[in-house]
Amino acid sequence: MLEDLLPARMVNEFVYCPRLFYLEWVEARFADNDDTRLGQQVHRKVDQASGAVPLPEDGPVTAARSITVSSPRLGVISKLDLLENDGNGAVVPVDYKKGKPQPDGSPWPSDEVQVCLQALALRDNGYSCTHAELYYAATRQRVRIELTGERVARVEDVVAGARRVAERDTAPLPLVDSPKCVRCSLVGLCLPDETNALLARRDQPPRRLVPRDPDQRPVYVTEPGSFVGVRSGRLEITRDKEKLASFRLIDVAQLAVFGRVQVSTQALQACFARQIPVLWLSTGGWLHGYALGQPPKYAELRRRQTAAHAQSRTGYAQSMIAGKILNARTLLRRNARGDVNVTVASLKRLAEQARSTSTFPTLLGIEGTAARLYFAAFPAMIAPAADHIAHTFSQLGRNRRPPPDPLNALLSFCYAMLTKDLVAITLGVGLDPYLGIYHRSRHGRPSLALDLAEEFRPLIADSVVISLLNNGEITSSDFLRRAGAVSLTANGRRTVLRAYERRLDTEIQHPLFGYRISYRRVMDLQARLLSGALVGEIPEYKPMITR
């Protein structure tokens, strides 16, 4: 079976950091930052193909840009920024770099390997090539690299080493306390300090996590009859040819459409090209489906997830349910307006039991008992001014299909938004949102997203509901009552979505890693920690438990 040709750029990444190489090449994960965008800007001219490149026997090369060459012998392929003639009948590949050389003027090892591979590929295609050059844009200087026998042997050994790493089932462990991690575009996906802290490979607390793109936010389209199109790199929402809103695609984290909303094929293709998930929901917020272009390429993670699902491993579920119960206990202790000490103490005992149980039926019973106690005390967290909304809930308790009172309607809608976000997050990590560990798989149910949602229900959804009612942002006029069922009005949904997004942007101090981080980023972090536990990179999954 023929192996995939390894891009020389990926070999550059391997020399820089084997884990970065694995994440980008094997798992096909990538994220932009200021450095990568600057690199794209530097390459904007050399990426435009120009000039003729005749075969060696057909005449000399003068100068050409953006040429692709490969070497089946080495198993590599590369795109040359610039190819020149040295005046003696030989060709010289020139690779453009945005930065500057090392302080002594020598090239960085990763850059040297990349341009040497370009030269060797040219040789294997019959061209005469004695040296290569690197152009560093920051200092506007060229660095010449001779193709000595020793250097060629070293480069070939590096390619063989990269192949061996690519064949592994799991990524290499991250670098420890490396300055490379601070500027790496994948630091928010790789989690070097977090992984090393969980493995006790470093003594210092983790450095602050760098978000992939703090400007990206979900776009919600709730207006019935709306149409989502794309124009000049922007998502445009219109209704009856009237523009309602416009968003730059680079600022969009996900597109969530509610009810009777149309999305054009062009808009879908633009979202797919940028790995922006598109989610379709009912008017009330129930998730109907999603689309995300090409599926993630990290098959090993999905294989491990399937094995964990089939083997019914209780360890993950124990952590998730214990985290949910403890977070519910904390929310109740902080917000209750009456004496809830008995309930708080009971929830603590139930969390301890959840951690120690070894069977799913017992865990289900513990979760059910904790939920009954928690929701029985839930109205104690609602201010007297909103008692008229919580009154019916006090009599009926938690009920969702359909919600019989306003408080249940609020909880159901916020839980639906939480599940929707975790579907998008699990897709981005490479997990299957429908293949659960605690929640059994069922047609149409995103079981893994529901698993991860457990610990966040009190922290995000319940907190939003309490805030909306206690601050008077939601009133009785924001609800519709039909045949015993209660739902939010269009204005009520918009109010809840604003409060929900505000909660996701709230920063807290992470109890495990010590840095400040938004709830939006915490959910992404937890999904990545779960994937690390599934592939065996970290020993166990630890839930997010607030203090």
Binding residues for Mn(2+) are 367, 439, 454
Please report how the helices 387-396 and 406-429 are oriented relative to each other, as an axis angle in degrees rounded to 10.
80
Write phi, then psi, for 295 (nearest 5 degrees): -70, 155
CA distance 226 to 237: 7
Where does 378-489 have alpha helices with state H?
Answer: 387-396, 406-429, 447-453, 456, 463-470
DSSP symbols for 346-397:
HHHHHHHHHHH---HHHHHHHHHHHHHHHHHHGGGGS-GGGHHHHHHHHHH-
DSSP letter, residue 536: T
Contact (Cβ atoms closer than 8 angstroms) between residue 27 and residue 171? yes
- Strands 485-488 and 479-482, sheet pairing: antiparallel
Tokens of 372: 């009954």
| Backbone Cα Rg of the chain | 28
Which is nearest to 288 in space by CA: 117, 134, 181, 416?
416
Q: Which amino acid is at 12?
A: N
Q: Which residues contact 14 (CB under 8 A, 6 or more apart)?
A: 20, 21, 110, 158, 161, 162, 165
Return the ∠ at Cα 25 (arms to 525 and 292), rounded to 5°.
Answer: 60
Which helix (H) or strand (E) is 269 found in, with range? helix 265-273
Binding residues: 367, 439, 454
